[in-house]
Amino acid sequence: MALSRRRLIRSSAASALALAMPHVARAAETTLKVVWMGWPDNQVLPLMAEFEKRNPAIKLAVERMPFTQVFQALEVRLNARTSDPDVYIVDSPLTASYAARGHLMELDALIDQSRFAPSAISAASYDGKIYSAPFGTSMQVLYFNRALFKAAGVEPPSSAIAGRWTWEQVLDAGRRIAKPAENLWGFTFEQQERPYQLLPLGQSLGGVALSPDGFKATGFIDGPAFVEGFSFMQKLYTEAKISPPGQFDTALTPELFGSGKCAMLLGGTFINDTLRAKFAELDFGVAPHPYFAKGKPVTPTGAWHFGVNPRSTRKEAVAQFVRDMLSDDINVLWFKLRPYVPTLNAVWQREAATFSTDMWRIVQAEMQSTALARPATPGFREYEDILRVTLRDMQAGGNVKDMLAAAAQKIDREIAKYKG
Amino acid sequence: MKASALAIARHLALVLVATILLLPVYWLIMSAFRPADDIFRYAGEFGLATLLPRRLTLENFHQIFAGTFPRALFNSLFVCTATVTLGVLVNSMAGFAFAVFDFPFRRALFIIVLLSFMMPFESIVIPLYTLVRTLHWTDTYAALILPEVAGGLIIFLFRQFFAGIPREIYEAARVDGASWWQIYWQMTLPLSGPTIATASLMMFIHQWDAFFWPLVATSSADLAVVQVAIARNMTLEQANWGALFASASTAVIVAAVPFFILQRSYVRVVAVQADK
Amino acid sequence: MHARRWIPYAFLAPAFIGLVIFRFTPICLALSGSFFGQSIRGASIFVGLKNYAELIGDPSFWSTVSTTLIFNLIINPFQVVCALALAMLVRRPTKLVDVFRAAFLLPMTVSIALTSILWSILLDPTLGPVNGFLRFAGLPPQPFFRSAGEALPTLILVATWKGAGYWMVFLLAGLLAIPKELDESASIDGANAWQRFFGVTLPLMRRPLAFVLVADTAANFLLFAPVYIVTNGGPNDATHLLMFEAYQSAFAFLNQGRSLAISTIILVIILAIALVELRLFRSDDGSAA
């Protein structure tokens, strides 16, 4: 019996369809909703495009929120406890806060801890589990204006780790260079009020910023080490007058340094690029973070992680996102787009050529020996906001011990709600 | 003699006030035309360089117009226009009701109107977001426009104005057989040029300034509004001052256009009215 | 006026649908939310008046209330007077009056967030052009927002810089609606400028003034952006206003119940003051309120 042509066509069409079906099913797209930081287009889009290239079945709907309101907008979204967003940007010290409130998914199965810097893993952990994925960290270095040092006849700091300056040396140099009446200053912090920047002052003297369980500030932040450290900070504004008070906009302090109005700036690695791009004629050098002579060097660290919404309905796509975003290649790409201090060991190795400058050598050394992440506590927002106001108010004077004690009490009261 | 002394004093006052009000805006716009490293270079001292740029450039504007800023401008203009159009109609109708009629619960309903603009937005943003989500309006123009159409303050504004129109006009029209809708549409509204203009300006500026709600309620880049686009130029580690000032200046200039248009038209209308 | 029963409600309906859905419902939810606390996992727990009791027992809450009341007691009349003065200045058509009117309006086009950023740069103690000018003029540079003594007055001035032109628009509309003949006949009758102002102009400005005062009161009690962006409530709580405290409670201290309780208190205060203001401006036929 010969098959009629029609039957042949029909049956081959059917089998072709049958063969095609699994492909069609697999190619159905998932879209992941991602809330990201409002970094410039040219730093975010290539990253996301690279992920989509590797994962054609997953589309990324990326929302870039401005830094000024990203946390608040995230709070509104997360508070609604929906499956939206699938993935979101996490400021590393907020990991504990989001995790305690049930907004982050455990990532232990997806992250190989040995690939990362230890301080990054500790910042990503809460209650013994990993809740956020490290995506970049930070380090502070001391920028100094060679021309101003020369004009005042002061020997500038050295770029070698071994020649690290003490705070006393910074104060002394600042005094000799600063002329406040002429709007010329000796030293400024990049972030004059943030605990991120200022906790190392007390930590350098052996202070511990918060109880290890993360729930008690009294007895820790108001202890003698921080009283001494912050009193020194206060002196920079009140007695010695080598720092310009009231500079709370972190985007303005580099302008101050770049336009030659301040001899020393303790700030992050991005300032290097800002200075080279905007102030080409500035003759500046980079030195390690200062420490107290009778204590030990401590540097601040921590920056951006990302986390997964436990209520997300696209678990597989999300797992793929985590895996790919933490891959060596994509991390190297991210570093090239926006040079945060790498958390992935592989990036240090692969980009070794870039890291041969003064600044990067300092950064690498600090990451290995002096970097200390901020205290881990579910109440970090409360801790930071209360301490920030206190640090701000200290600039104008006032009894440092009393101010810290009052802040500690307020912190304890607010953090208490996370205990239950 | 006294008259001219008064006139001189008046002119001096005008110039002084105009200077105080305009100088900061001038500094903002002028800084946008400066290369990024010059913006703060001359700020700490005062000299000619502070007010007149040594070097002029359009690079900041090139940068923002090459990106997503034009889309944000369009979005905001669209949202503002839609809000104003719907809002003038809806709110003037309500203001008309309060001003002209006596009806049960009038006082209580008016207090609800007042209450609606006295509650901090941050405290209602979470329930509002949940509500908009339930309506499946997240990430749509509807979410940006519709919640802002009915406004207690605008109703209050219209009501104040309408209450000043003599009732006799309405009585005469009613005797002539006019329906209330005809009275509202053909008599009251045409008399309300300046109030419609001010209401439009208020709603326009309110939507033009919108920042937190659009951030919460919409996600896709296509729906970004102008204030969000401007704010994106500030990141923690760096601020793109040039782009920030350029986008802020553009937003100010674009917003100023409806102001000038509306301002001149209502003055003409009122001047004609007052001469009647 | 006489009308069929449903007519007024028909006019009200579109606006009220919008208000009920998008304002009234969330406001009621917020008001009732002030009687609840939240567990850290998001479960709501009824706590009755606990949030309010805690506020009342908190001395820093009372100092925030007093700072807010002082701020408003000064800024509201100040802004209305400035707006009225500006409106009077540009009332009479002279040459260039169009230009001046437009100039006064320009600050309105700068959003409050941008205004805050702009002024925080202009008044910066080190990099700000204003201090640059003071130094140039031989005067000592001022800390402005960075000193506990100057911060609140600076805040009032910056808010007025933005607001005066805004409120002027309404008052100008009111002024321009006053027929010229009234003023002219008063002046023929021998009244001088002050008498004309208080006797003719002001009484006819009752409704616009009532509107501006109430709206401005609400706006100033709800003022938030400059405090958040520039001063963070400081220095030393000098600018720690109730609205900022409500915001901090929600977004920094993650205490929704407390934040909603403060918002409710703000609402009640504004409403009470607004009703008083409306009564003050009530004209003889009782129609301002």
Instruction: Identify the segments of chain C with pLDDT beneath 70.
Output: 1-3, 283-289
> In the prediction, which pLDDT does B170 show?
85
The pTM (predicted TM-score) of the whole model is: 0.89
Look at chain C and report how many structural domains it folds into: 1
Closest residue in chain A to residue C256, using alpha carbons only: A79
> In the prediction, which pLDDT does C287 show?
47
Cis peptide before C235 (omega within 30 of 0): yes
Q: Three-state SS for A15?
A: helix
The enclosing domain of C258 has a CATH number of 1.10.3720.10
The shortest C-alpha distance from B220 to chain C (Å) reads 22
Q: Is A73 on the interface with C (CB under 8 A)?
A: no
C-alpha C263/C-alpha C243 separation (Å) is 7
Four-residue CA torsion sign, A41, A43, A44, A46: positive
> In the prediction, which pLDDT does A4 show?
52
**Radius of gyration for the alpha carbons in chain A, expressed in angstroms and rounded:** 26
User: Where do the DSSP E strands lie in chain C?
Assistant: 36-38, 44-46
Q: Which two tokens stand for residue A309?
A: 């919404």
Q: What is the CATH number of domain A29-135+304-339?
A: 3.40.190.10
Quickly list H helices, A279-416.
315-325, 328-337, 345-350, 358-369, 380-394, 400-415
The shortest C-alpha distance from C195 to chain B (Å) reads 16
Q: Are C132 and B44 a contacting pair, CB within 8 Å?
A: yes
Q: Is A14 on the interface with C (CB under 8 A)?
A: no
Contact criterion met (CB < 8 Å) for C135 and A183? yes
Contact criterion met (CB < 8 Å) for B41 and A259? yes
A21: confidence class by pLDDT, cuts 50, 70, 90: very low
Q: Are C131 and B44 a contacting pair, CB within 8 Å?
A: yes
Break chain B into its structural domains and give their ranges. 1-57, 59-274
List, for residues B180-202, the tens digit of each pLDDT value: 999 999 888 888 888 898 899 89
Half-sphere exposure of B46 (CA within 13 A, CB side): 14
A102: confidence class by pLDDT, cuts 50, 70, 90: very high
> In the prediction, which pLDDT does A203 show?
97
Residues of A in contact with C120 (CB under 8 A): 249
Q: Are C177 and C95 a contacting pair, CB within 8 Å?
A: no
Q: Is residue C77 in a domain?
A: yes
A129: confidence class by pLDDT, cuts 50, 70, 90: very high
Residues 193-212 of C with CB under 8 A from B: 207-208, 210-211
Q: Is residue C42 in a domain?
A: no
Q: Are B198 and C173 a contacting pair, CB within 8 Å?
A: yes
> Which amino acid type is present at position A221?
I
C-alpha A241/C-alpha A261 separation (Å) is 14
> In the prediction, which pLDDT does C2 show?
64
Q: Are A297 and A367 a contacting pair, CB within 8 Å?
A: no
Q: Is residue C202 in a domain?
A: yes
Contact criterion met (CB < 8 Å) for C254 and A382? yes
What is the number of residues in chain C? 289
Residues 74-103 of C with CB under 8 A from B: 86, 89-90, 93, 98, 100-103
> In the prediction, which pLDDT does A20 show?
46
pLDDT of A99 > 80? The answer is yes
A417: confidence class by pLDDT, cuts 50, 70, 90: confident
> In the prediction, which pLDDT does C93 show?
78
Average pLDDT over residues A326-353: 93
pLDDT of A3 > 60? The answer is no
> In the prediction, which pLDDT does A10 show?
57
Top pLDDT among B131 and C283 is at B131
Residues of C in contact with B45 (CB under 8 A): 132, 135-136
Instruction: Quote ipTM for the complex.
Output: 0.87
List, for residues A148-202, the tens digit of each pLDDT value: 999 999 999 999 999 999 999 999 999 999 999 888 999 999 999 999 999 999 9
DSSP state of A188: E
C-alpha C142/C-alpha A34 separation (Å) is 45
Residues 56-85 of A with CB under 8 A from B: 61-69, 72-73, 76-77, 79-80, 82, 84-85
> Which amino acid type is present at position A75?
E
Q: Which CATH number fits domain A140-299+376-418: 3.30.540.10, 3.30.1600.10, 3.65.10.10, 3.40.190.10?
A: 3.40.190.10
A25: confidence class by pLDDT, cuts 50, 70, 90: very low
A13: confidence class by pLDDT, cuts 50, 70, 90: low
3-state SS of C142-180 is CCHHHCCCCHHHHHHHHHHHHHHHHHHHHHHHHHHCCCH
Give the CA distances from residue A92 to residues A132, A136, A306, A364, in Å, rounded to whole numbers and listed in that order.
8, 9, 8, 19
Q: Which CATH number fits domain B59-274: 1.10.1060.10, 1.10.3720.10, 3.30.1490.270, 1.10.287.10?
A: 1.10.3720.10
For chain C, first and last CA: distance in Å?
17
> In the prediction, which pLDDT does A28 show?
63
Q: Is A18 on the interface with B (CB under 8 A)?
A: no
**Nearest of A91, A112, A9, A56 to residue A304 by alpha carbon:** A91
Residues of C in contact with B93 (CB under 8 A): 11-12, 14-15
DSSP state of A166: B
> In the prediction, which pLDDT does A11 show?
54
Mean pLDDT for chain A? 91
Task: Specify burial of residue A9 (Cβ count, 10 A radius: 0-12, 13-18, 19+).
Answer: exposed
> In the prediction, which pLDDT does C223 show?
94
Domain span holding position C246: 52-280
A31: confidence class by pLDDT, cuts 50, 70, 90: very high
Q: Is residue C38 in a domain?
A: no
Q: Is residue C43 in a domain?
A: no
List, for residues A196-244, the tens digit of each pLDDT value: 999 999 999 999 999 998 999 999 999 999 999 999 999 999 999 999 9
Name the least confident of A86-100, B57-71, C175-189, C262-276.
C175-189
Q: Among A79, A389, A418, whose Cβ lies nearest the Cβ of C232?
A: A389
C144 Cβ partners below 8 Å, 6+ apart? Answer: C123, C125, C128, C130, C150, C151, C154
Closest residue in chain A to residue B37, using alpha carbons only: A278
> In the prediction, which pLDDT does A72 show?
92
Q: Among B40, B216, B220, whose Cβ lies nearest the Cβ of A77?
A: B216
C-alpha A170/C-alpha A187 separation (Å) is 8
Per-position DSSP letters for C2-37, written without gaps between them? ---TTHHHHHHHHHHHHHIIIIIHHHHHHHHHTTEE
Residues of B in contact with A76 (CB under 8 A): 125-126, 129, 216
> In the prediction, which pLDDT does B122 show?
87
Break chain A into its structural domains and give their ranges. 29-135+304-339, 140-299+376-418
Q: Is C109 on the interface with A (CB under 8 A)?
A: no
List, for residues A265-290, the tens digit of each pLDDT value: 999 999 999 899 889 899 999 999 99
Name the least confident of A24-38, A367-381, C16-30.
A24-38
> Which amino acid type is present at position C45?
I
> In the prediction, which pLDDT does B1 show?
53
C-alpha A169/C-alpha A174 separation (Å) is 8
